[in-house]
């Protein structure tokens, strides 16, 4: 019985020795991880706001470990999670939080690269760039209508041939020292060819410092044999680059 046990033990030691010899002379193959990625970022953000973005990362060749983002931008503060492991042949999504700084409005570039390790050591990909437009942090004040004795909330009911006025301003929500310039208010009725017009159709907004409110801008609403009904006047605010920032609407009624 002891002879059989000794033979079995000898066989086990022989097998272990063969396996050890095999791995000693034929080590596991090292593989280079090659990463590719596609960023998914918003195209526009308002200064001082936060948004989510994503980067989809794919690995080929070998496994990538400790995958993180290297992001550089003058217009944004950025934070992101990381992936401990991305297997070869798989794709993982990395979440990114971006905060638009309180800077002057315009298009800002964001540089994105990946850093990671594989069987050969540390690596970093070539960067990709995306552009995000930072809109000015501004908003309209409430629309007010021309005083009228018979309309306590302002004259927003007019006859078929009549006129009235409405007023609106712009408020800066910026808390930095910057000054917004080149803003423009555009005004138009929501329905065309109903006999209603707005003059002027636009106003340039004076430069706005931090937390400032502009003067009220006056628009004249005229009806000339207008079609009866309830309508809206649309006010649009554009940046110095002609990019739409925000819109509001005011209701008015054409009566007999």
- When comparing pLDDT for 31 and 177, which is higher? 31
Instruction: State which CATH number among 3.40.640.10, 3.30.70.20, 3.30.470.10, 2.60.40.10 fits the domain covering 138-255.
Output: 2.60.40.10
Helix (H) or strand (E) holding 191: none
pLDDT(16) > 60: no
Res. 223: pLDDT tops 70: yes
Q: What is the per-residue pLDDT across 62-77, written as a single tens digit (0 to 9) for each?
A: 999 999 999 999 999 9
**CA dist 220 → 107, 153, 163, 204 (Å):** 35, 17, 7, 16
Gap between the Cα atoms of 35 and 50, Å rounded = 28
What average pLDDT is seen over the chain? Answer: 91
Beta bridge partners of 171: 139, 213
pLDDT tens, 74-95? Answer: 999 999 999 999 999 999 999 9
pTM of the full predicted structure? 0.81
User: Angle at CA 193, nearest 5°, toward 191 and 194?
Assistant: 70
Most confident of 17-21, 29-33, 56-60: 56-60
Residue 1 has pLDDT above 50, yes or no: no
Query: What does the longest C-alpha to C-alpha distance in the chain come to?
Result: 120
Question: How many Cβ atoms from other residues are within 10 Å of residue 140's Cβ?
Answer: 18
DSSP 8-state class, residue 146? -
- Selecting from 2.30.130.10, 2.60.40.10, 3.40.50.300, 1.10.3720.10, what CATH number does the domain 34-135 have? 2.60.40.10
Q: What pLDDT does residue 230 have?
A: 96
Q: Cα(first)–Cα(last) distance of the chain, in Å? A: 118
Which tens digit of pLDDT belongs to each residue from 153-194?
Answer: 999 999 999 999 999 999 999 988 789 999 999 999 988 889
């Amino acid at each position: 019985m002891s002879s059989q046990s000794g033979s079995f033990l000898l066989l086990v030691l022989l097998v272990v020795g063969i396996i050890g010899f095999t791995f000693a002379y034929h080590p596991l193959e090292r593989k280079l991880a090659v990463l590719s990625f596609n960023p998914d970022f918003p195209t526009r953000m308002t200064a001082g706001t936060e948004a989510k973005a994503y980067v989809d990362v794919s690995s080929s060749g070998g496994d990538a470990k400790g995958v993180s983002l290297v992001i550089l931008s003058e217009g944004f503060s950025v934070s992101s999670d990381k992936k401990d492991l991305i297997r070869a042949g798989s794709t993982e999504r990395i979440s990114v939080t971006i905060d638009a700084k309180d800077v002057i409005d315009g298009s800002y570039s964001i540089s994105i690269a990946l850093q990671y390790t594989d069987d050969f050591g540390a690596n970093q990909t070539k960067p990709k760039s995306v552009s995000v437009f930072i809109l000015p942090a501004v908003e309209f004040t409430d629309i007010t209508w021309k005083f009228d004795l018979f309309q306590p909330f302002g004259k927003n009911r007019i006859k078929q041939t009549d006129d009235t006025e409405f007023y609106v301003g712009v408020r800066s929500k910026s808390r930095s020292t910057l000054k917004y310039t080149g803003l423009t208010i555009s005004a138009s009725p929501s329905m065309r060819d109903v006999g209603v017009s707005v003059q002027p159709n636009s106003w340039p907004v004076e430069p706005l410092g931090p937390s400032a409110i502009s003067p009220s801008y006056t628009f004249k609403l005229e009806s000339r044999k207008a079609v009866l009904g309830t309508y809206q006047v649309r006010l649009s605010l554009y940046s110095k680059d002609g990019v739409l920032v925000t819109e509001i609407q005011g209701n008015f009624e054409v009566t007999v």
